[in-house]
Amino acid sequence: MEISTTLLASITAFLITYISVPAIIKLSDEKGLYDEPDGSRKDHKHQIPALGGIAIFGGFVITSTFFLDFGKNPELGYAFSAITILFFTGLKDDIIPLTPKKKFIAQLLTVAIIIFKCDIRLTNMYGVLGVEEISYFWSVLLSGVTLLGIINAFNLIDGINGLAGGLAVIISATFGILFWQMNQVNLAIFAFAMGGAVGGFLVFNFQNKIFMGDTGSLTIGLISGIFSMKFIELSHETNFLFKPTFAPVFAFAILIIPLFDTLRVISIRLFNRKSPFHGDRNHVHHFLIDIGFSHLQASVILYVVNLFFIGMAWSLQMLPQLILLVSLLSMATAFSLILYYFKIKKGLEVKSLQSSSRIRVSRMKSYLER
């Protein structure tokens, strides 16, 4: 019964989103609400609606409020307040762009609700750097940084069709399965509703008909952060399938593409003395596009890579925590460096062809002038 309810929640969320998207596309066409191509970071060639997050939010919230038992997890009721605040922040930004400062203030407010009102926070370092229990102050600080990091990671990774959405489905499904195995049915429904809602959006996103926009990416980021912290804390409380010290590393592996890519890109920007919010083409998905892959191919490659890291972390869970974490980071770094190498090689080949073409044109002009 619990399995059927969880699957029904996922299907319901999928259908609500799937039915809603065409109406949102029509509204965007009538009101001229588009994401404009900029000829640099944005690879699309024509105007595309960027309000897909509305359909995702609708499918997720309607389904969750119908299927969840808030008596068992009252904190989820408060969480919807935070999710709604971030949803409207993203919606405003998609229609009339907000300054990074205003977006950050809204994120701080939602994070405060999750930590102080929902009491969803990390209470232990689980042996990272030899630290176990932490004080309330450090718990709040660590949880706040974690949530803000995940929210912005999804916001930054949303650069090509299908990437943020597909990763959200993988992440939601993975946490949903873990919650179900923990006998946390409410949380499993919560996760599968998210995955189903994003799945309904992806049908149209893959066809290049609509983007999720900040409305979707910010919301998905916050929900993924909630999944992560609930999973880590529950693993410690319930003595789940593995030792509690593995839970934080496994949560990182589940979110590795958005988290690692964001850490890498922000580090590069700070090293170059640029704002962390300064847009560029240093994301791994940009590397894949510059190498010559299509949006769909690049997204699928990164899906497979994310799944590989999840499987690798699971299979190597008996390794010491630090060794496993270093191994994940090392392989992620190697992957990004390989892509960067092929991007540079591709760029040199293109420049060489352009140079040869200019020489041939110059010679032809000289010949004709004789």
Residue 368 has pLDDT above 50, yes or no: no
Q: How far is CA 277 from CA 43, 69, 158, 270, 318, in A?
A: 19, 39, 14, 10, 38
Render pLDDT for 228-264 as a digit per residue (tens, 0 to 9).
Answer: 999 999 887 766 667 778 889 999 999 999 999 999 9
Q: What is the pLDDT of residue 187?
A: 94
Q: What is the DSSP string of 281-305?
A: S-SHHHHHHHHT--HHHHHHHHHHH
Q: What is the pLDDT of residue 349?
A: 59
Strand, coil or helix: 259: helix
Identify the top-confidence range among 249-258, 268-277, 319-328: 249-258
Residue 170 has pLDDT above 80, yes or no: yes
Q: What is the pLDDT of residue 37?
A: 61
Q: What is the pLDDT of residue 243?
A: 76
Lowest mean pLDDT across 72-81, 133-142, 273-282, 343-352: 343-352
More confident residue, 240 or 71: 71
Q: What is the pLDDT of residue 361?
A: 46
Strand, coil or helix: 47: coil
d(CA 97, CA 266) in angstroms, rounded, equals 21
Q: What is the pLDDT of residue 263?
A: 92
Residue 364 has pLDDT above 70, yes or no: no
Q: What is the pLDDT of residue 357?
A: 53
Residue 44 has pLDDT above 60, yes or no: no
Q: What is the pLDDT of residue 42?
A: 54
In the chain, alpha helices (H): 2-31, 52-67, 75-95, 100-112, 136-157, 163-181, 185-205, 213-238, 246-254, 256-271, 284-291, 295-315, 321-369
Q: At 270, is the pLDDT very low, low, confident or very high (cuts 50, 70, 90)?
A: confident
240: left (phi > 0), else alpha (psi -120 to 50), else beta? beta
d(CA 172, CA 9) in angstroms, rounded, equals 13
The stretch 108-117 carries a mean pLDDT of 96
pTM above 0.85, yes or no: yes
162-175 as b/e: b if 16+ CB within 10 A: bbbbbbbbbbbbbb
Q: What is the pLDDT of residue 34?
A: 73
Q: What is the pLDDT of residue 63?
A: 96
Q: What is the pLDDT of residue 239?
A: 65
Residue 300 has pLDDT above 70, yes or no: yes
Q: What is the pLDDT of residue 220?
A: 96
Render pLDDT for 159-169 as a digit per residue (tens, 0 to 9).
Answer: 899 999 999 99
d(CA 293, CA 272) in angstroms, rounded, equals 28
The stretch 217-228 carries a mean pLDDT of 96
Q: What is the pLDDT of residue 13?
A: 97
